[in-house]
Structure 1
Amino acid sequence: MNEFGSPVPVNRYEATDDWHAVDRYFTSTLVREDSILAVARDSGDATTMPNAEVAANQGAFLEILAKIAGARRVLEFGTLAGYSTIWLARAVGEQGQVVTLELEPENAAVAKANFHAAGVSHQIETIVGPATESTERLINDDTEPFDFVFIDADKPNNPAYLAAALKLTHSGAVIVIDNVVRNGAVADAASADPRVQGVRTVAEDIAAHPDLDGTALQTVGEKGWDGLIIARRR
């Protein structure tokens, strides 16, 4: 039961044919996913988490958000095959930079091949290792602040990633956190799932932070029932 007294369906909602059809319609009508991006998306099957990359329309959404934010420096938690990284690299342009953090060396190798094929390798720095350690080094090195942060890594560490992002950004920076609905389980305060609790804690941290404005949106589509949090530093 959630705090509203209603049962919470966990792992019950799968992407329906209608959800797929709607995603296909909007993607084919609005999204410019070229062959390079399509290959990068398909190469996710060679990573440690197949089919975990964002959908094409979500990649385009990230690109538009980064452009709206006027981002020239982007920090990404969770590279996998580099699909969302390429969208973000294109958003920041030739003079911009994306720093992407990936735990697994084999995923980073897949991503780097995709960056080369996309012609954006010179815009991307891939750092391999635990993201908490990588961000600590960035903080200690007094890295130039980032304008946009995309958090799409292990969910239990979301609060730690937000804390690091706040040390690595400036006023006006935008922070996006993916996969926050968890098939509705996020509404269950008593959930024993550390991924759910990671999302709930980071949402509460955003709500309590005096310099952050945030909201969350549920989504349905080819990736099922999920959603994201968007926050902006005042």
Structure 2
Amino acid sequence: MSNDQDQWTTVDRYFTDLLAPDDEALTAALDASRAAGLPEIAVAPNQGKLLNLLVRTHGAKRVLEIGTLGGYSTIWMARALPADGRLITLEYSPVHADVARSNIARAGLDKIVDVLTGPALDLLPVLEEEAAGPFDFVFIDADKVNNPHYVSWALKLSRPGTVIVVDNVVRGGKIATAHPDDPAVTGTREMFDLIAREPRLDATAVQTVGSKGYDGLLLARVTD
């Protein structure tokens, strides 16, 4: 497995160096997050570039992110927005949120990005009450136990055509375990069951390997 991981990381580095090279703001965001003791679980650079391309290709103007961490993925997506775009990102930890705000401001994106602090399941009803949506694009990368709730809220705050991306859905292959003993896997399986039953969502999921190991993502589109 270690040899496989070395190869996956080498290939990711090749792709990144050519197609998604780091710049000052992105590198500083990772460095500041590391210095603050945040877990090193941000998306890989090529995954960040994928989010950027998805937002741009979709022509999204309003983006919702559930799970900010240090704002690395936030920066990638916010850079894809037009001048009148807006990105709202939800972060449970006040420490993480403060780091993210600093990173986002350093990247010059604080005018179009709002970092809200608190449990997402408390903040999402407030966004609904304030008519903050509908959002054109939703990225979910938070605690996996609540994945089904996050997808349900994403659907409430969406419109026909909204794209929803959920990260870390393969769980090292454990997602195929019928009776997992990991709450993160259980929550993610419940999310898949919900999406499979939901007629308003058309979705697929793909497995990935890379510098972040073996995992994958779900891509869904709101149809009605």
* Alpha-carbon distance in 1 for matches of 2:45, 2:5: 17
Equivalent pair of 2:169/2:216 in contact (CA under 8 Å): yes
1:43 match: 32
Cα distance in structure 2, aligned partners of 1:84 and 1:15: 26
**Which amino acid in structure 2 is aligned with residue 19 of structure 1?**
W
Out of 179, 182, 185, the residue aligned to residue 190 of structure 1 is 179
Aligned match of 2:209: 220
SS of aligned partner of 2:162: strand
**SS of residue paired to 1:191:** coil
The offset of 1:143, in angstroms, is: 2.0
After superposition, the Cα gap between the structure-2 partners of 1:59 and 1:14, relative to the gap in structure 1 and judged at 3 Å, is: farther
1:152 aligns with 2:177: no
Match in the other structure for 1:75: 64
SS at 1:71's partner residue? Answer: coil
Q: Would you say 1:53 and 2:48 are equivalent positions? A: no
Cα distance in 1 between the residues matched to 2:11 and 2:160? 36
Q: For the residues of structure 2 that align with 1:44 and 1:222, how far apart are their CA atoms?
A: 18
Q: 1:192 to 1:139 in 2, by over 3 A?
A: same
Task: For 2:173 and 2:187, locate their aligned partners in 1 and report how far apart those are by CA, in whole Å.
Answer: 14
Match of 2:73 in 1: 84
Query: 1:178 aligns to what?
Result: 167
Going from structure 1 to structure 2, the CA distance change for 1:224 and 1:97 (only over 3 Å counts) comes to: same
Does 1:168 pair with 2:157?
yes
RMSD (Å), alpha carbons: 1.5
Unaligned runs of 5+ in 2: none
Letter of the 1:228 counterpart: L
Correspondence for 1:133: 122
- Aligned equivalents of 1:100, 1:14: Cα separation in 2: 36
From 42, 51, 62, the equivalent of 2:51 is: 62
Deviates more, 1:142-151 or 1:98-107: 142-151
Equivalent runs, 1:24-35 vs 2, <5 Å: 24-35=13-24
How many angstroms does 1:46 deviate by? 4.2
Q: Is the 8 A contact 2:68 2:90 kept in 1?
A: yes
Q: State the 4+ residue runs in structure 1 displaced beyond 4 angstroms.
A: 12-15, 46-49
SS across alignment from 1:175 = strand
- 1:9 maps to none
Structure 2 vs 1, CA of residues 58 and 14 (structure 1 numbering), >3 Å: closer, same or farther? farther
1:127 Cα deviation after fit:
0.6
Number of residue pairs matched by the alignment = 223
Match of 1:18 among 7, 12, 20: 7
| 3-state SS of paired residue (2:80) | helix
Alpha-carbon separation, structure 1, partners of 2:107 and 2:173: 36
Measured after TM superposition, the shift of residue 92 of structure 1 is 1.1
Structure number with higher relative contact order (C-alpha < 8 Å, ≥ 6 residues apart): 1
Deviation at 1:45, TM superposition (A): 1.8
Shift of 1:144: 2.9
Does the 8 A contact of 2:128 with 2:157 survive in 1? Answer: yes
Q: Report the Cα distance in structure 2 between the residues aligned to 1:191 and 1:160, rounded to whole angstroms.
A: 19
1:115 correspondence with 2:104 = yes
CA drift at 1:150 = 0.2
Structure 1, gaps ≥5 residues long: 1-11
Aligned-residue offset at 1:15: 6.2
Q: Which residue in 1 is equivalent to 2:87?
A: 98
